[in-house]
Structure 1
Amino acid sequence: MEGIGGPDALNGVPARYWHRLDDGRIQCDLCPRDCRLHAGQRGACFVRQRVGDGLVLTTYGRSSGFCIDPIEKKPLNHFHPGSSVFSFGTAGCNLACKFCQNWDISKSRDMDRLMDAAAPDEIAATAAAHRCRSVAFTYNDPVIFAEYAIDTAVACHARGLATVAVTAGYISPAPRRDFFAVMDAANVDLKAFTDDFYVHQTGARLAPVLDTLLYLRHETDVWVEITTLLIPGLNDSDAELSALSRWVADELGTDVPLHFTAFHPDYKLDTLPPTPPATLRRALRIALDAGLAYVYTGNVRDIEGASTRCPACGQTLIERDGYRILAYRLDAHGACTACGHVIAGHFGDFTGAFGPRRVPVHIHRHAGP
């Protein structure tokens, strides 16, 4: 990272993670794309731009909206279940997923849509005022607005709020250390388990994502859950699901929750059929047979597939209907009330659930400490 001067009010704030090349270009070092930029050019994410002899983040302090969600929507089923999370994102993305469910945000080239401006302290103050348990960087991938997310996470921690990253994990080692050093939990989208899928459906590669998962699991205290969107005919074969599940069990551990979610036709894959419920049930069984203790289905109504069971005695511990918690049978230490087995995750006293609401929020301006 090179030293950078003051912010440019019209073009963004100085970015980290770049260096000059001998041919006069500058290289962005944030993610494995290694975008090399001439004057005025933007990276593949669209939000990191060369201005003069430096790189700026054009979306710092600008959001596509703020909402309060249930934490299960991220999805995180083992991180303070039932709690509310203050959620926001910006625009742009460093992947090019043909199946993106938030393509109007992640693929936006219109910075004027980012009408909700907020400084990190204002976000933290507003989330605290609404009694949220955590703040999530989501909707588009937060690694591309790493400087904004890091500053906001620091402000959140100062107010006792936890931080959550919803990400595809496509980030280089140096910024990865800084980014996840201030995150308490992450849901990582493992799009598939073949490099061919990543190359042809996302414009990225598989290996850096696996590296991020290994780093999070073995070198940090970040709570990790994984989501794989199952797309008919592209990443839902028995062989691929088995290989993915075995890798998670062998390399990350059997207590890492894995979510299989249903694809709905959208963006550039709008002619494919939606994921059949039978595919989700098949994937769940394959993952359980591979030894994973906590496997879930999502984007469909499936009480059995959404609920948490004790891997020791089989008791249903958290019964869910979508984002609604119907029953909760864990003690304050996260142990099964039937047999005492401790469930992996972050739990605590359960006083009720936020429920399936989605509450739009306006930022408190110039909020004091």
Structure 2
Amino acid sequence: MFYERIDNKYILCYLCPHHCHLKNGQRGICKVRRAEKDRLYTVNYGEISSLAIDPVEKKPLYHYKPGKTILSVGGFGCNFSCGFCQNYSISKSSPETKYVNPEQLLKITLDAAKEGSIGIAFTYNEPSIWYEYIFDFLKEVEVSINKPDIVLVTNGYIEKEPLKEMLPHISAMNIDLKGFNDGYYKNICMGSLDEVLSTIELSSDKTHVELTTLIIDGYNNSDDEIEEMAKWIASIDKDIPLHLSRYYPAYKFTDRPTKPESLRRARDIARKYLNYVYIGNLPGEDNNTYCPECGGTVVERYGYYVMMNLNDDRCQNCGNKIKIVL
């Protein structure tokens, strides 16, 4: 899907903003879309590298069905080249995989639902480059009596046309906002900030969205950058949850882990503009959800154990409506 033949010379892929121009035998930046015999093929269709039941908070999603579990599935490949990738063993290599067709995946999803799972999250590596497989899975869900929740954990680097086609079927998304500096995106991730912002803006209007930023000292944590990022998110919706995650050395990055005080400072700056800001990958940190009106605790979190103090989606103390899907 989403390609065309140009001047009988090459294939143009327009699934993502890279718009790779491929001659026969070449693969795109994502390493999973290959030009062959004047057509574009996916080499990752149905190839699963990772499968697990996770707490939904691990995605991370704090405002979408807190305390529930979700089947999580990943393939391989990515259309970014982040030097700090923590899942590089599947995003930047060819791991061992098992083929599972969409019908089988739906059965696995529904079997997991019998044990309490709310649905399926396409995660671990970049799901947008698994587009045709997810698209066919969604068609299976359409004709199924049971409708599992569908979650995407994504870098947001996808063109508008394929995104719009998928969005009506998506229950929730966590979108990586790597930073708020286009130079950082280009030099570290090999992407573009504006394209990701476009995805966030479009998606937040159609489904539940939370954002994650991996904070790395000296790269994307200046006060000005955090403030500009928070202001921009607030211009879309100040209730969008923002997760500021601690970096640890991985893949090509050997810098020291993010200082806890850097994360807390970023959180304090972001909270001037946003109602819900959390710190991830830092055990023991307060990640409760507080009512923006009265300051009362509406969701308590102890690791992945969750206790809610809500009347439906309203604060028990003042009755303020909290942006949360229960």
Q: CA deviation at 1:321?
A: 2.3
Does the residue aligned with 2:134 lie in a helix, a strand or coil? helix
Does the residue aligned with 2:89 lie in a helix, a strand or coil? helix
Is 1:98 matched up with 2:108? Answer: no
Q: Aligned in 2, Cα 1:154/1:339: closer, same or farther, shift over 3 Å?
A: farther
Number of the residue aligned with 2:253: 269
Of 77, 80, 98, which residue of structure 1 is paired with 2:65? 80
Number of the residue aligned with 2:152: 165
Number of the residue aligned with 1:359: none
- Contact 1:153/1:183 (<8 A) preserved: no
Q: CA deviation at 1:177?
A: 1.1
CA distance in 1, matches of 2:137, 2:61: 20
Is 1:317 matched up with 2:298? Answer: yes
Number of the residue aligned with 1:295: 277
Letter in 1 for 2:102: P
Letter in 2 for 1:288: R
Number of the residue aligned with 1:365: none
- Contact 2:75/2:97 (<8 A) preserved: no
CA distance in 2, matches of 1:287, 1:262: 15
CA RMSD of aligned residues (A): 1.2
Q: CA deviation at 1:114?
A: 3.8
Of 171, 174, 182, which residue of structure 1 is paired with 2:169? 182
Number of the residue aligned with 1:4: none
State how 1:218-297 maps to structure 2 within 5 Å.
218=205, 220=206, 222-250=207-235, 252-270=236-254, 272-290=255-273, 292-297=274-279
Letter in 1 for 2:252: K
State how 1:104-253 maps to structure 2 within 5 Å.
104-108=89-93, 110=94, 113-131=95-113, 132-156=117-141, 158=144, 159-218=146-205, 220=206, 222-250=207-235, 252-253=236-237
- Contact 2:56/2:66 (<8 A) preserved: yes
Number of the residue aligned with 1:344: 323
CA distance in 2, matches of 1:45, 1:215: 23
TM-score, normalised to structure 2's length?
A: 0.95
CA distance in 1, matches of 2:57, 2:140: 23
Q: CA deviation at 1:226?
A: 0.4
Is 1:334 matched up with 2:321? Answer: no
Instruction: Give percent identity, aligned residues only.
Output: 39
- Contact 2:279/2:285 (<8 A) preserved: no
The number of residue pairs the alignment matches comes to: 321
CA distance in 1, matches of 2:304, 2:138: 25
Q: Deviations over 1:39-86 (max 9, x none)?
A: 111100000011212111111111002100000000000111111110
- Contact 1:303/1:322 (<8 A) preserved: no
Q: CA deviation at 1:343?
A: 0.8
CA distance in 2, matches of 1:49, 1:176: 21
CA distance in 2, matches of 1:86, 1:210: 28
CA distance in 1, matches of 2:279, 2:159: 30
Letter in 2 for 1:29: Y
Q: CA deviation at 1:133?
A: 0.3
CA distance in 2, matches of 1:75, 1:301: 14
Q: CA deviation at 1:310?
A: 0.9
- Contact 1:78/1:346 (<8 A) preserved: yes
CA distance in 2, matches of 1:344, 1:34: 36
Does the residue aligned with 1:227 lie in a helix, a strand or coil? strand
